[in-house]
């Protein structure tokens, strides 16, 4: 069993895959992380987007990895060319990759500038990968099917105070 965190402006006891307004690294899904501080940053980021009157929360889940063998999974151990191609494809189109769970690095905000330079053709793939290697990368685990979401069990939630 692993503990996963989800940062948001709401407590989410029953995760769902929502239609999204913006395209994300691994496509439509429910995003979590093993890093508590990262989830807190995500919660604050969402709070800033939604306005001062919203609150920031981190929901904590127990992740049952014993059933993973029943799912179609894609795992990226590092930010390499395959990861870059996958992220760019998901960020630029409503791409159905067919995986039920995807895990791998997520770039922090400054790294998105590097991805944007690549997407606009200013950086080559090789230059982009080189730049990715000098930035800290965090992890994300995204759930893309109801079967995958069943592996998450709500544990608790807490409000994140502005720092």
Q: Domain extents for the chain?
A: 2-160
Virtual torsion, Cα 78, 87, 110, 126, nearest 10 deg: 70
Pairing of strands 101-107, 73-75: parallel
Residues in the chain: 163
Neighbours of 114 (CB within 10 A): 21
Quick one: which of 8, 29, 15, 7 has its CA closest to 94?
Answer: 29
Percent of the chain with pLDDT over 90: 48
Confidence (pLDDT) at 10: 94
> What's the pLDDT at 108?
61
Structure tokens at 51: 């306005």
Q: What is the pLDDT of residues 63-116, one digit of tens each?
A: 999 988 999 999 998 888 898 899 888 888 777 899 999 999 886 666 777 888
- Asked whether residue 52 carries a pLDDT value surpassing 60, the answer given is yes
Phi-psi region of 104 (alpha: psi -120 to 50; beta: other; left: phi over 0): left
pLDDT at 121 > cutoff 60: yes
Q: How far apart are CA 120 and CA 19, in angstroms?
A: 26
């Amino acid at each position: 069993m692993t503990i996963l965190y989800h940062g948001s402006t709401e407590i989410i006891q029953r995760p769902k895959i929502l239609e999204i307004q913006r395209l994300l690294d691994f496509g439509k899904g429910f995003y979590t992380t093993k890093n508590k501080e990262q989830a807190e940053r995500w919660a604050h980021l969402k709070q800033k987007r939604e306005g001062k009157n919203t609150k920031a929360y981190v929901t904590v889940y127990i992740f049952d990895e014993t059933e993973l063998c029943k799912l179609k999974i894609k795992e990226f151990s590092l930010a390499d060319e395959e990861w870059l191609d996958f992220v760019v494809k998901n960020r630029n189109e409503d791409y159905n990759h067919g995986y039920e769970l995807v895990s791998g690095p997520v770039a922090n905000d400054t790294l998105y500038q590097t991805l944007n330079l690549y997407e606009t053709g200013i950086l080559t793939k090789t230059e982009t990968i080189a730049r990715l290697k000098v930035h800290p990368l965090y992890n994300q685990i995204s759930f893309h099917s109801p079967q995958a979401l069943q592996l998450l069990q709500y544990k608790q939630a807490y409000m994140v105070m502005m720092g």
